[in-house]
Amino acid sequence: DAKTTQPPSMDCAEGRAANLPCNHSTISGNEYVYWYRQIHSQGPQYIIHGLKNNETNEMASLIITEDRKSSTLILPHATLRDTAVYYCIVRGRENRDDKIIFGKGTRLHILP
Amino acid sequence: KAGVTQTPRYLIKTRGQQVTLSCSPISGHRSVSWYQQTPGQGLQFLFEYFSETQRNKGNFPGRFSGRQFSNSRSEMNVSTLELGDSALYLCASSLVPSSYNEQFFGPGTRLTVL
């Protein structure tokens, strides 16, 4: 089973910020939170990752709660090209038997 | 620089047959990971190879196997195919193992088992 839970779908108006939540209440101390997205008919694309501090890059921001049991991916100005399935996963940096499971993700619809 | 390539892109097999899928990583990348994606289960990790050695393995039966060659190209094999093996099989490459933030995915091979 996936170690994360996400809403199955969300809508966001074009130009607005898209905030995608993820719960990972069983995350352990050495596990990072990673976000990927998958646009239809393509392989997943890495977005961002973090351990406990908030992170920002050219694509998105990642807000991790202080207890690390949940996080939010923020796409600051959503465009139609951001329509995709977004996956939140937790994984260790070096774990030989890391049974990595992406789960079902959140299908984000950007509305014109 | 060419991306990750997977062949074939589409494949139809019948139950009981075996299948071999191929993945060529980005030039210079030595780590290759394989994933299975189905509508019901989402994206699940199969295994990871680096320098011709399996470093990591997901929770799949022994019918699923793989290997990596000295040029970093990788193949995965599924024997005694079952209907439930119908899925999109994705390959991802990275420079070194477990570089999840630098992992690039290929377009996948869509396998249909009849």
Tokens of B17: 């047959």
Nearest to B100 by CA among A74, A83, A86, A45: A45
pLDDT per position as a tens digit, A5-57: 999 999 999 999 999 999 999 888 888 899 999 988 778 888 999 999 899 99
A15: left (phi over 0), alpha (psi -120 to 50) or beta: left
Task: Look at A104 and B42 and tell me if their CB atoms are within 8 Å.
Answer: yes
Residue B16 sits at the vertex; the CA angle it makes with B15 and B17, to the nearest 5 degrees, is: 95
Q: How far is A33 from chain B (nearest CA, A)?
A: 11
- Residues 4-33 (B) with a CB less than 8 A from some CB of A: 4
Helix (H) or strand (E) holding A91: strand A84-92
Task: Look at B105 and A103 and tell me if their CB atoms are within 8 Å.
Answer: no
Nearest to A99 among B43, B58, B102 (CB): B58
pLDDT per position as a tens digit, A62-96: 999 999 999 999 999 999 999 999 999 887 765 44
Q: What is the DSSP letter of B101?
A: G
3-class SS of residue A52: coil
Q: How far is A25 from chain B (nearest CA, A)?
A: 20
pLDDT per position as a tens digit, B53-99: 998 888 899 999 999 999 999 999 999 999 999 999 999 998 877 66
Nearest to B56 among A43, A49, A96 (CB): A96
Residues A101 and A54: beta-carbon distance below 8 Å: no
Burial B77-102 (b: 16+ CB within 10 A, else e): ebeebeeebbbbbbbbbbeebbbbee
Q: How far, in Å, CA of A95 to CA of A38, rounded?
A: 25
Per-residue pLDDT, A96:
45
> Residue B61 carries which side chain, given as an amino acid letter?
P
Q: What is the mean pLDDT of residues A104-109?
A: 92
Chain A residue numbers touching B105 (CB-CB < 8 A)? 42-45
Q: How far, in Å, CA of A47 to CA of A38, rounded?
A: 10
Tokens of B89: 């099989």
